Structures are given as structure tokens and as C-alpha cells.
Structure 1
């Protein structure tokens, strides 16, 4: 992956990118009927190991955040409620309603505290590790809906917010948060709406839950939102990157970029109506990760296990400058072939989902409504 012509490279560290993950995600599930019943992070970890793309120096085990660390953003009473839910596997009804636990897609499950606390601890640790420069890929991160005192949108603790706070606490005062998930990054926007040290950008499918993030929503002045119509394809993603995102980063001149690269915008994903292939996501990651001295690359949404495994493994290859092979070795192919996905889209997957990493480029004409929305967004400046 190379930068567009004449675009400067702002990286200052020669250190190799690192991946941070943990074994808690292997076998942990929100429940058999939940969209997050599928394996995700464990597949990515297994894929990059099978490809020989990580070693003991570049793969790190993420820590569990302590209650004190979580309290940098979250309310202590809420943290205690999540811990109680894990211990007892049940909460009184009034607590479930108050904290959003066991309600609205946020189930009480065996690792309800440890799993999100590991994602949070990993974002905090990653931010500390790149304080002097570098890139870390944290595929379990990106839980961008979590609120200060409430679970929301499958998210219990907001690891992007906690990672950004760790960057700010290290002395930085200019952080750019870029969110390309199919859903609006509402929790991160709310957290930093009035903080002029953090500029948040979210590109998301319009009218998709949580149905926030209109173009004219700039929060306290430090938010930019681009709701996209259903049917977004790779050329439209490239258009947004070249016509808006690159200039946003060059103008804001961030000391760090936190990139939430949820891949629920892929054609195969059941929770959005977007049509992306993974190559345009890699293009965004490859470009944005070079526009600041520090970059934290998070996961996010993604509800096709094939899509997640292939896309986020390719994200890791992209930030390392590894060429994507046209055909996967049998060790990697076998990881994909044993996936069990009971969703209707998982019953007869195309063979290319097992044998390749890169999707074909899924392009098309740039729709006038997309051009108009980007034009309107430019009017808000930086």
C-alpha cells in the first residue's frame, strides 16, 4: 500500500507495527442467537500466525483494565454493576434498566466484565506503547457505542475513548479519531464533543442504528459526520478518502490518529446495506496510518466471520507493507473452512472466501448524492 502521489509520510518511528490481542475472545460469545455469537478476533490472530506475519516481538497479549483505569471515563457505579453481572450472571431488574445490562442487545454473559475490560486495557496499553511513535493494531477494539454510565450497541466499555484519554494523558493535545464503521461512532463523539484536543470523524450508513450523526451534527464543534446512502461501493470509499479524509488529516495535523475500521460495511455483512470489498478499507488504513506519528488501528463492527477474518488480517498486512498473496496457503485456508456460521449468508459461502484474502474491487460510478454530501461536509472546515 502506497500513499497517493506527493502525499507526505508523517511516521517518525522505525519500529515494526505490533498487534495486541488476547485469548479471552476465543470461545467467548454473547449467546447463540446474538450477532456476536461468531468468532472474530481469534480468527484474525490465527490467520496472521498461519501466514507467518507475527512473532514474539510483534504480537502482544492485552491486559485487563482495572476499575480505576476504566473510571478515567466510566462511572464507578456502572463499572461495579458490570463486575456484579459477571459474578452473579444476573442483576436486579432496576439495575438492568438503569445500566443497559441484559437489555437491548447487551446480554449478561460469562465474560461480561473481563472481555470488554481486556479490550479497554489493550487500548490503554497500546496508547502508552505508541506515546513516542509507532503503530499498533488492536482488532478487538473499536467498541464505540459505550457510554459513560451505560452499555449500548453491544458495547460495555468504550475502549476508543479510554485509548484517546491515554494518548492525551501522555501529553498529546491533537488527536484525530476516524471511524468507518457502518454505525455512527456516537459514544466517542459524545465523550469529546467539547474537547478541542480531539477531532472525531464518522462515516456511517444513514438511517442505521443509532440513527445519529447527521452532516450538520458537529457536536461542540469538534465532530464531523458523513452519513452515506446504502449501496456504498469501493470507488465511493476512495472518493471520500481522496476528497475529504486526507485533507482533514493534513489540515488538523494530528499527533496521533485513532482509526476505528469496523468492517460491517462489507457486502457479505448482514447488519448493513453497504457493498464494500475489503481492498478499499485497506486503502483507508494504509493511507491514514501514515498521516500521523502515532496510529492506533482498532476493529469495530463486523458480523460475517469470513469478512472479519479476511479484512482485519489484511489490515495487519497493510500496515506492515506485506503483499497480499493471490491465493492463501492451506494452513490459512483451513482456518476459514472450519468456520461455522448459522446465518443464511453462511450456509453456502463462495469458495473465494476460503482461498483468498482480497475481495475483488467492487466499484461503480460516484453518485451525485455522495458528491453533494462531501461538498456540504467540507463547508464545516476543520
Structure 2
């Protein structure tokens, strides 16, 4: 947000404050007992052994912190509000959303609530029945997959690193509904993602003819991220968004994973620039550079000796190469499956 403001891309007329979702709204998918446990964890700052075992709160993956209810409830409130606003055509961006691992009765992978699921349910509540959900986070969207398994009116496409937590979403997992998984090999780069975009994402979404598109745009697939071994530039994410935009007049874009503050800030700012029709500058003005230079990252390798490009540019240099054999064969398998299911 600060970087978008420094570039003049976020005037007050383009920004709305997310409401904090009320417990009753959150129980559209989450259980009342879990929501109560999450609120109690914030109030007391701790959880009992029973709550930890049942709801996975207070673990290394889902620690209790001072805003453990308010923060995810605000992100969820933004996605729920977006579902209501998209009764009319438009493009909305909730970078604080994208918490796609959350499960009905427990936290999962630092996702305490599942705002993509709640956003899709809100879209449906507001009369939009066919939803295309596209997830390009480095990790598979296990919570969203669990929510809509067997639902033919939700198209779910996930590209994610193969053999990485949560170890779900294999290529062969077709499911009963309309789910398509594309695991990517370690080292997958821009050309691999372009092949997935052109060979899977765009044709499947176009054929589905959705009432709305939800794009989860996790930033952890880029080279600088510590939690994946993918090698994309931020151009890969922007290309997917540009391809999807003409396919539907209603779109909700969410954030998601991303653990290097410089690469996340630059990638998600470029997402907003793409959505709002801005030109990506070759070099950032000084006030925008100062936003990036003011960040810090407590990481023994990536937080030190930060490349100058991460301060001075918005677009990464493209990271290209020959499309991996695993990607080619996976797309061929999915194309054959599409011919059977069309």
C-alpha cells in the first residue's frame, strides 16, 4: 500500500477499509467452537492443551499473537465485502487475504481463517453461482480444495511446487468436482509458468465461463522467497493476471504467501498497477525507493546484502529457460483429461 501510494496509484477514491468480519459471518464455513476458541486465544494470549490439540492453535505453525483473531477476521471481512460489491461488475484487490490453508475447525499453515472460501461463499450469496478460483501460490490450496470438493460450479486450478507442504494437490488428483492441479518442479521459472497459463489456466477458465474469477496471487513462487524452491520473477504473476482479466467482468484478487518483504511488496504493487491500468516504471522514483529501503528482514541470508534492484525497480528481470519436462508432460496429461471431461 505504501509503495502504491508513493507511485500515485492509490488515491482515496480507490481504497476502502476492510470491515472486521463478525463471528456469525465467519461461521458460514468455520465452526462456532473454533471461532470462539480463536477469540479466546486473542483475549488471554494463550490456549489450553485441549484447544491446541483440537484447533491447532498455539503451535509453531499457528502461534498465538496479539491480533490472532482481529487480523484474520479483518482480511476475511475484506473478501466477504468484495463478494457483496461484485454484484456489479468490477475488479477488487484484497492483498491481506489469500489465507487458503485454513480449515473449518482448525488453523493450518499460519492461516487462521479461510478468506478465499468465505469470499466465494459471499459471491454465491450475492447471486454469482459459477466461480473460477485460480491459485498460483507456491503451496497447494488445501483448505479451498476441501471446501469445494465435488462442487461442479467452482472451477479450482492450482499451480504449486511439487513435494512441498502441505503435500496435497498431485497431478492425478482429479476429485469429483472441477479441480485441476499442476505441480511444478523445483526451479520452475517464467517460461514454465507461461506454459501453465496458456496451456491450462486460460483455456480452462474460458471454457468454464465463470460469473466471477478469484485469483490467489501468493508471492512465494519468486526466486527470493525462502519458503519455496521455485525460480520465477514477478512478471510471471502479472502475466497470469493480464490473461485472466479479459475473461470475466468480475474479479477478486487476493494476496497469499510471500516471506521476503521486498519481493512481496514489489510483486503485489505490480498486481495493483496491472489491475488499475498503470504503466510499470523502468525505475522507481526516489520516494518509492525509500519505501523499500525502509524495510528489514530478519533472515540470515536474504536479509543481508539485498540486491540493489529490489530497491530501485518494480519489475524483476525475466527468469526464463526451457520448459521443464515435468511441466510439458503434466500439461499433456491435463489436456487429455480435459478432452474427456469437456
CA distance in 2, matches of 1:250, 1:118: 32
Q: How does 1:348-363 map to 2 (within 5 A)?
A: 348-363=305-320
Aligned with 1:129 (options 71, 74, 85) = 85
Q: Which residue of 2 aligns with 1:197?
A: 153
TM-score in terms of structure 1 length: 0.87
Q: How many residues align?
A: 338
Q: Which residue of 2 aligns with 1:159?
A: 115
Q: How does 1:104-123 map to 2 (within 5 A)?
A: 104-123=60-79
Tell me: higher relative CO, structure 1 or 2? Use CA pairs within 8 A at least 6 residues apart.
1
Q: Which residue of 2 aligns with 1:307?
A: 263
CA distance in 2, matches of 1:82, 1:367: 43
CA distance in 2, matches of 1:104, 1:219: 31
Q: Which residue of 2 aligns with 1:221?
A: 177
CA distance in 2, matches of 1:100, 1:192: 22
- Does the CA contact (< 8 Å) of 1:48 and 1:313 recur in 2? yes
- Does the CA contact (< 8 Å) of 1:189 and 1:219 recur in 2? no
TM-score in terms of structure 2 length: 0.97
TM-aligned CA deviation for residue 241 of structure 1: 0.8
Please state whether the residue corresponding to 1:346 is helix, strand or coil.
Answer: coil
Q: Which residue of 2 aligns with 1:345?
A: 302
**Is 1:209 the equivalent of 2:165?**
yes
CA distance in 2, matches of 1:334, 1:256: 37
CA distance in 1, matches of 2:220, 2:47: 31
Q: How does 1:137-176 map to 2 (within 5 A)?
A: 137-176=93-132
TM-aligned CA deviation for residue 199 of structure 1: 1.2
CA distance in 2, matches of 1:289, 1:281: 13
CA distance in 2, matches of 1:218, 1:173: 21
Q: How does 1:198-277 map to 2 (within 5 A)?
A: 198-277=154-233
- Does the CA contact (< 8 Å) of 2:188 and 2:324 recur in 1? no
Q: How does 1:71-110 map to 2 (within 5 A)?
A: 71-110=27-66
Please state whether the residue corresponding to 1:379 is helix, strand or coil.
Answer: helix
Please state whether the residue corresponding to 2:16 is helix, strand or coil.
Answer: strand
Q: How does 1:58-73 map to 2 (within 5 A)?
A: 58-73=14-29
Moved over 4 A (4+): none
- Does the CA contact (< 8 Å) of 2:2 and 2:291 recur in 1? yes
CA distance in 2, matches of 1:300, 1:380: 29
- Does the CA contact (< 8 Å) of 2:131 and 2:210 recur in 1? yes
TM-aligned CA deviation for residue 104 of structure 1: 3.9
Q: Which residue of 2 aligns with 1:298?
A: 254
TM-aligned CA deviation for residue 380 of structure 1: 2.6
Please state whether the residue corresponding to 1:322 is helix, strand or coil.
Answer: coil
CA distance in 2, matches of 1:57, 1:336: 24
Question: What's the RMSD between the two structures over aligned residues?
Answer: 0.9
Aligned with 1:374 (options 308, 328, 331) = 331
Of 214-223 and 308-317, deviating more is 214-223
- Does the CA contact (< 8 Å) of 2:101 and 2:142 recur in 1? yes
- Does the CA contact (< 8 Å) of 2:235 and 2:315 recur in 1? yes
- Does the CA contact (< 8 Å) of 1:97 and 1:103 recur in 2? no
Q: Which residue of 1 aligns with 2:275?
A: 319
